[in-house]
Amino acid sequence: MQNYDLIVVGGSAAGITAALTARKFYPDKSILLIRDVKNVPIPCGIPYVFGTVKAPMKNLMPVDTMMQNAKVDIQITTVTKINPEFKIIFTSDNHKEGMTYERLIIATGSLPIIPNLKGIEKHNIFAIKKNPEFHQLMLEELDKAKNLVIIGGGFIGAEFAEECRKRHPELPISIVEMQEHCLQLVYDPEYCTMAEKGLADQNITLLTNEKVVAFTGNESVAGVELESGKVIPADMVILGIGCSANVDLAREAGLRIGPARGIYVDDHMQTSNLYIYACGDCADKVSFFDGKPSALKLASIATMEARIAGANIFKTNRKNIGVVGCFATVLNNQAYACAGLTETQATKLGYKIAVGSAESVNRHPGMMPGSALMKVKLVFELKSQILLGGQIIGALSAGELINGVSAMIGKKMTADDIATFQAGTHPALTASPVAYQLVNAAENALLKIRALI
pLDDT per residue as tens, the chain (453 positions): 799 999 999 999 999 999 999 999 999 999 999 999 999 999 999 999 999 999 999 999 999 999 999 999 999 999 999 999 999 999 998 767 899 999 999 999 999 999 999 999 999 999 999 999 999 999 999 999 999 999 999 999 999 999 999 999 999 999 999 999 999 999 999 999 999 999 999 999 999 999 999 999 999 999 999 999 999 999 999 999 999 999 999 999 999 999 999 999 999 999 999 999 999 999 999 999 999 999 999 999 999 999 999 999 999 999 999 999 999 999 999 999 999 999 999 999 999 999 999 999 999 999 899 999 999 999 999 999 999 999 999 999 999 999 999 999 999 999 999 999 999 999 999 999 999 999 999 999 999 999 988
Per-domain residue ranges for the chain? 2-111+244-312, 125-241, 326-452
| Nearest Cα residue to 275 out of 21, 1, 4 | 4
Domains 2-111+244-312 and 326-452 share a fold: yes
CB–CB of 307/321 below 8 Å? no
**CA 390, 391, 395 angle in degrees (round to 5)?**
130
Please tell me the predicted confidence (pLDDT) of residue 96. 75
Residue 146: how many other CB atoms lie within 10 Å: 10
Please tell me the predicted confidence (pLDDT) of residue 1. 75
Q: Which residues pair with 232 in a beta bridge?
A: 224
CB–CB of 153/127 below 8 Å? no
- Sign of the Cα pseudo-torsion (49, 370, 338, 185, in order): negative
Residue count of the chain: 453
Residue 95: how many CA atoms within 13 Å on its side-chain side? 5
- Sign of the Cα pseudo-torsion (235, 241, 245, 248, in order): negative
Contacts of 319 (CB under 8 A, 6+ apart): 267, 268, 308
CB–CB of 79/9 below 8 Å? yes
Tell me which CATH code domain 2-111+244-312 carries. Answer: 3.50.50.60
Please tell me the predicted confidence (pLDDT) of residue 93. 85
350 Rama class: left (phi>0) / alpha (psi -120 to 50) / beta: left
Please tell me the predicted confidence (pLDDT) of residue 453. 80
Q: How far apart are CA 49 and CA 139, in angstroms?
A: 8
Cα end-to-end distance, the chain, whole Å? 68
Q: How far apart are CA 325 and CA 186, in angstroms?
A: 9
What are the C-alpha distances in Å from 306 to residues 8, 76, 153, 346? Answer: 11, 20, 29, 28
The verdict on pTM exceeding 0.85 is: yes
Is the bond preceding 365 in cis, omega lying within 30 degrees of 0?
yes
Tell me which CATH code domain 125-241 carries. Answer: 3.50.50.60
Contacts of 93 (CB under 8 A, 6+ apart): 75, 77
**CA 75, 101, 316 angle in degrees (round to 5)?**
110
Q: How far apart are CA 196 and CA 401, in angstroms?
A: 23
Query: Strand order in 353-361's β-sheet?
Result: 326-331, 334-340, 387-394, 373-381, 353-361
| Nearest Cα residue to 277 out of 27, 76, 22 | 22
Burial status of residue 247 (CB atoms within 10 A of its CB: 0-12, 13-18, 19 or more): buried
Query: Strand order in 221-226's β-sheet?
Result: 212-217, 221-226, 231-233
Residue 201: how many other CB atoms lie within 10 Å: 10
Task: Supply φ then ψ for residue 394, to 5 degrees.
Answer: 125, -120
100 Rama class: left (phi>0) / alpha (psi -120 to 50) / beta: beta
Strands 285-286 vs 212-217: parallel, antiparallel or unpaired = unpaired
Tell me which CATH code domain 326-452 carries. Answer: 3.50.50.60
CB–CB of 41/61 below 8 Å? yes
Contacts of 349 (CB under 8 A, 6+ apart): 289, 290, 341
